[in-house]
Amino acid sequence: MSNAGSHQSAARIPVVRHFLACERVERSQEGRRAYSLLNLFHEARPSPGASYPLICREMWLFTQMSDGRGVLSFRIQVVWRSDETSIFTSAPVTLNLGDDPLAVFSWPVRLLNVRFPRAGLYEFRLFCAGQEIAREPIVLRES
């Protein structure tokens, strides 16, 4: 008996094309898989008169990846670079990347109420199947 008709490709961790932080991601009216990223940022600071901890009520990370296959688990972590302390870890999310290695998969991630305890260099880190696959730095400045 042959399993040729029911063969599925083994899961494969994707290659990250883009991993960006922004204020908002909107799905484009033009097409199902098109997105607009609003106000990309690489630094932030408290509002005048405010201080740390800085709580970002809402921010988005946009990931675009290809060459992945199958059903995989993803998570996001935010790390303070000075001592590698994790200040935020998302719940795991399972995504089906399909079987076409040439397909580009876009994943907008909304983060709510991320608390940055002090000024300094932080990184957003993307993990797939427990393996780090992308980093995006952000600098938090004094007000």
Within a domain: 24: yes
Q: What is the pLDDT of residues 52-65, one digit of tens each?
A: 999 999 999 999 99
Show the tokens assigned to 55: 């709580």
Within a domain: 3: no
Domain of 132, CATH number, reads 2.60.40.1930
Within a domain: 48: yes
Q: Which residues pair with 119 in a beta bridge?
A: none
**Which residue range is the domain that position 120 belongs to?**
13-140
Give the whole-angstrom CA distance, residue 37 versus residue 51: 28
Residue 95: its H or E element: strand 93-96
Mean pLDDT of all residues belonging to the chain: 91
Split into its structural domains, the chain has a count of: 1
Strands 15-27 and 71-80: unpaired
Supply the pTM of this predicted model. Answer: 0.88
Within a domain: 96: yes
Within a domain: 1: no
pLDDT at 3: 46
Within a domain: 8: no
Within a domain: 7: no
Estimate to the nearest angstrom the gap between the alpha carbon of 13 and the chain centroid: 15
Q: What is the mean pLDDT of residues 61-75?
A: 96
Within a domain: 2: no
The three-state DSSP-derived secondary structure of 52-121 is CCEEEEEEEEEEEEECCECEEEEEEEEEECCCCEEEEECCCEEEECCCCCCCEEEEEEEEEEEEECCCEE
